[in-house]
């Protein structure tokens, strides 16, 4: 019989998520280093219980818990293993979650000799529709600022800067794929919706990394400023490994809240393919649009296109069919952020001085977001559920998967003539 004594966190059950248990297991005994955490509050938690929890978790040296995450009824902070042990059974605490790292989904292809162009003769440009790009920031590239500045807002959750910038380069590239005008290159590298407005939300640092809680704060910012900036779409080319159901995952729940507030959310499937069951969070959420990536082999004919090896496969951790849609994501040429980490690390991928060629589900996601902007310009009354249904119904079944390849022309045409139910029309008019 084993005499090994069970460690306190191994018998905590659902009170601690698996990622936090792993962090605690790797901490040495008596370790006073703080661990970034998210605390779910109980639904019936009153102000007295909440204040008692705050008092217990905020001391002068090692513990801090304060920032509220309203969309998930939670709080973020840093607590030592000992403090986590003390509060896990507190009457205000539902669950404690490790605030793990989120990264941009960038995959550099080994043979990058061309670019997938996403320009089509549609008659719509995305004008009047705003796409929020939650990423590493956005540099004020000419293709976004000229002839008129379409970057209508910028918020930095990492360093608190006021002026738009992108020290990594990933977010700028994604913004250009969605809504770049191609003006600096005479329209050669035009985005899917060159008339759409852009909001840049910096949540990832120079290395392309950030915390779950920071992404959640940005999602809440989008909900709060939806009407002010006419935000209809959120593009998330980032994620983290999914260890639990979307019902328990804080990032999935936050994106779902944005969806239910009338904002279409597109999230990258991840770059962990070709293995199955590798869909990341928040892409695991069944409501939002999960985007996989294709490789077109540099040909116009779609018959030889295939799902990119790096693109994550379903089903999701909850056994839902994912991705929902596929878009080009291999060897995509888009905006270069000057002075960024990508510029210094990938000089061989720079094209025409102002552009750079990258691959990944990161690139497929803003293409999908741009197509949705065209759909919403054609029919502003579409709900997020309408948009998702139309995208899937019009997708070409050219890929060896349950769902198909995004087809912008068919999607916009169906959106334009989409008939809303009478009850929905009455509700909107009232």
Residue 18 belongs to some domain of the structure:
yes
What's the total number of domains in the chain? 2
**One domain, residues 243 and 390:** yes
What are the residue numbers of the active site? Answer: 135, 170, 362
Q: Which residue pairs from 54-60 have beta carbons closer than 8 angstroms and sit at least 24 positions apart in sequence?
A: 56/83, 56/86, 56/87, 56/90, 57/83, 57/87
**One domain, residues 94 and 124:** no
Residue 218 belongs to some domain of the structure:
yes
Give the CA angle between residues 212, 215, 219 to the nearest 5°.
Answer: 135
**One domain, residues 86 and 216:** no
Q: Which residue reads 């990058």 in tokens?
A: 112
Instruction: Supply the range of the domain harboring residue 67.
Output: 10-99
What contacts 114, CB < 8 A, 6 or more positions away? 298, 331
**One domain, residues 77 and 108:** no
**One domain, residues 94 and 30:** yes
**One domain, residues 67 and 144:** no
Please say which residue of 99, 134, 156 terminates a domain: 99
**One domain, residues 302 and 336:** yes
**One domain, residues 88 and 107:** no
In the sheet that holds 64-69, the strands lie side by side as 64-69, 74-79, 35-41, 93-98
Residue 427 belongs to some domain of the structure:
no
**One domain, residues 95 and 107:** no
Residue 1 belongs to some domain of the structure:
no
Please say which residue of 84, 99, 114 terminates a domain: 99
Residue 159 belongs to some domain of the structure:
yes
What contacts 189, CB < 8 A, 6 or more positions away? 115, 117, 143, 176, 180, 182, 333, 334, 351, 355
**Rounded Cα gap, residues 264 and 226, in angstroms:** 11
Residue 421 belongs to some domain of the structure:
no
The CATH code of the domain that includes 89 is 3.30.70.80
**One domain, residues 313 and 329:** yes
Please say which residue of 42, 66, 99 terminates a domain: 99
Per-residue pLDDT of the chain (430 residues; tens, 9 = 90+): 445 566 888 877 889 998 999 899 887 555 568 899 999 999 888 889 999 999 889 876 677 888 889 999 999 999 999 999 999 999 999 999 999 999 887 653 222 222 223 334 557 889 999 999 999 999 999 999 988 899 999 999 999 999 999 999 999 999 999 999 988 888 788 888 999 999 999 999 999 999 999 999 999 999 999 999 999 999 999 999 999 999 999 999 999 999 999 999 999 999 999 999 999 999 999 999 999 998 866 666 666 678 899 999 999 999 999 999 999 899 899 999 999 999 999 999 999 999 999 999 999 999 999 999 999 999 999 999 999 999 999 987 766 655 688 888 889 889 988 887 754 543 454 4
**One domain, residues 216 and 160:** yes
**Rounded Cα gap, residues 226 and 397, in angstroms:** 34
The CATH code of the domain that includes 127 is 3.40.50.200
What contacts 291, CB < 8 A, 6 or more positions away? 266, 267, 268, 269, 283, 323, 324, 325, 326, 327, 361, 364, 365, 367, 368
**One domain, residues 372 and 411:** yes
């Amino acid at each position: 019989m084993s005499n090994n004594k069970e460690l306190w966190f191994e018998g905590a059950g659902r009170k601690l998520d698996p990622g936090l248990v792993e962090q605690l297991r790797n901490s040495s005994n008596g370790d006073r280093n703080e661990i970034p955490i998210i605390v779910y509050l109980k639904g019936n938690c009153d102000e007295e219980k909440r204040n008692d929890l705050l008092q217990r978790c905020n001391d002068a040296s090692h513990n801090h818990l304060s920032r509220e995450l309203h969309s998930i009824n939670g709080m973020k902070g840093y607590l030592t293993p000992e403090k986590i042990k003390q509060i896990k059974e507190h009457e205000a605490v539902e669950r404690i979650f490790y605030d793990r790292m989120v990264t941009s989904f960038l995959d550099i292809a080994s043979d990058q000799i061309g670019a997938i162009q996403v320009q089509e003769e549609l008659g719509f440009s995305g004008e009047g529709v705003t796409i929020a790009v939650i990423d590493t920031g956005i540099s004020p590239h000419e293709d976004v600022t000229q002839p008129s500045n379409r970057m209508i807002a910028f918020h930095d959750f990492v360093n608190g800067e006021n002026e738009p910038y992108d020290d990594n380069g990933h977010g700028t590239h994604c913004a250009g794929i969605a809504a770049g005008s191609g003006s600096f290159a005479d329209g050669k590298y035009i985005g899917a919706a060159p008339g759409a407005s852009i909001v840049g939300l910096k949540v990832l640092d120079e290395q392309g990394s950030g915390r779950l809680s920071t992404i959640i704060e940005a999602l809440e910012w989008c909900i709060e400023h939806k009407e002010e900036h006419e935000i209809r779409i959120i593009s998330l080319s980032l994620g983290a490994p999914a260890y639990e159901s979307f019902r328990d995952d804080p990032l999935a729940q936050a994106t779902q809240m944005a969806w239910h507030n009338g904002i279409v959310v597109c999230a990258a499937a991840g770059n962990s393919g070709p293995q199955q069951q590798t869909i990341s969070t928040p892409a695991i959420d069944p409501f939002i649009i999960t985007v996989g990536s294709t490789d077109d082999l540099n040909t116009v004919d779609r018959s030889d296109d295939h799902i990119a090896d790096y693109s994550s496969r379903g089903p999701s951790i909850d056994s839902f069919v994912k991705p929902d849609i596929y878009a080009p994501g291999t060897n995509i040429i888009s905006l270069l952020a000057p002075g960024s980490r990508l510029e210094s690390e990938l000089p061989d991928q720079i094209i025409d001085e102002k552009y750079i060629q990258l691959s990944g589900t990161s690139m497929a996601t803003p293409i999908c977001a741009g197509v949705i902007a065209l759909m919403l310009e054609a029919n502003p009354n579409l709900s997020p559920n309408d948009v998702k249904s139309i995208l899937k119904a019009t997708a070409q079944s050219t890929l060896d998967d349950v769902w198909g390849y995004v087809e912008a022309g068919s999607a916009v045409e169906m959106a334009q003539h989409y008939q809303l139910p009478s009850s929905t029309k009455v509700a909107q008019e009232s």
